[in-house]
Amino acid sequence: MSDIVWLLGEKGIIAAIGLVFFLFCYKYSTGIFEWIEKQTLGTRSYIMEKFELLFIEVKEQHITYVLLALSVGIGFITLTIMGLLGHWMLGFFLAGILSLIGFKIPKPIVNHLYKKRIKLYSGQMVDALTLLANGLRAGLSVPQSIAMIVDEMPAPVSQEFNLILQQNKIGVTLEECFDSLAKRVPTEDNDMFVTSVNILRETGGNLAETFDTIVAVIRERVRLQLKIEQLTASGMFQGLVIAGMPYAIGFLYFLSEPESMIRMFHHPVGLIIIFVAMCLDAVGLFVILKIVDIK
């Protein structure tokens, strides 16, 4: 090994490493560029799709600005502040973590909003189907009954059914409109409702009675879901407490031995230990939440 270093020299070793890196990038260039596109433009496209499902109008460049501000902006500000305080190593460490978190956090936030909307929609399905069944019993057509839901129900049910009416007015069949609804709001209750409507419109049958049956099934499912949430609430709370204990212990240790903790934040090994501990703590919390998340 020493002979190779002597023959190549310092510049030769750097050139060899550069050549290996170039060959690696050249061979896997397609996969690398696809990964970069997925992590950048893919994130923006994903957020745009979710915003459309949330009925939120926003321009693509605005999303790009927000992603840059949350990643590069926060990282640069953190590095600048820590650099002015004379803690460059800690600044690079915190800037890297905050930039990564800032770039990745929009997706979970958008997913949370989307899941919240779906949950709210599912809670309104009983009243919407009851209103739809009453309209059909009164002699109204399916589009007229849907119009009643749009006029009398709040969002998001009114928004989704209003989109069905708008699509139907421009020539889209009701079957296709309901299929689009099932794709926008992928819940079991919605799939059951859409499938029942499409089948009965082709084969014939009493839609009002079918909707009453679906309402009864949804109510029973909601009752069971609430019971499951009550049983898993204690496990979720225990998981959050366990995940927060390392931070609480670290804070108490900082109050009792501040010099040791400050030295740990300024040493590379200490920063690595803190980073690994935070990752393991996050993984443990994720596993616990997955265990108590009973479908």
pLDDT in tens, the chain (295 residues): 444 444 455 556 566 666 676 676 666 656 655 555 555 556 778 888 888 888 888 887 788 778 778 777 887 888 888 888 877 777 788 888 888 888 888 888 899 999 999 989 988 888 888 898 888 888 888 888 889 999 998 989 999 999 999 998 888 888 888 889 889 998 888 888 888 888 887 777 788 888 888 888 888 888 888 888 777 777 778 888 888 888 888 888 888 888 877 887 777 888 888 888 888 888 888 888 787 776 6
Could you give the C-alpha distances from 197 to 71, 186, 194, in angstroms and in order? Answer: 46, 16, 5
Which residue intervals of the chain are DSSP H helices?
Answer: 2-27, 29-39, 41-53, 60-68, 74-84, 88-104, 106-137, 142-152, 157-169, 174-184, 188-203, 207-256, 258-266, 268-292
Please tell me whether the overall predicted TM-score, pTM, comes out greater than 0.85 for this model: no
Contact (Cβ atoms closer than 8 angstroms) between residue 151 and residue 244 = no
Greatest Cα-to-Cα distance within the chain, rounded to the nearest angstrom: 94
Query: What is the rounded CA–CA span in Å between residue 295 and residue 292?
Result: 9
Which residue intervals of 85-187 are DSSP H helices?
Answer: 88-104, 106-137, 142-152, 157-169, 174-184
φ/ψ bin of 57: left (φ > 0), alpha (ψ from -120 to 50), beta (otherwise): beta
pLDDT given at position 101: 82
Burial class of residue 90 in the structure, from the number of CB atoms within 10 Å of its CB (0-12 exposed, 13-18 middle, 19+ buried): buried
pLDDT given at position 1: 46
pLDDT given at position 41: 58
Contact (Cβ atoms closer than 8 angstroms) between residue 235 and residue 291 = yes
pLDDT given at position 5: 44
End-to-end alpha-carbon separation of the chain, Å? Answer: 58
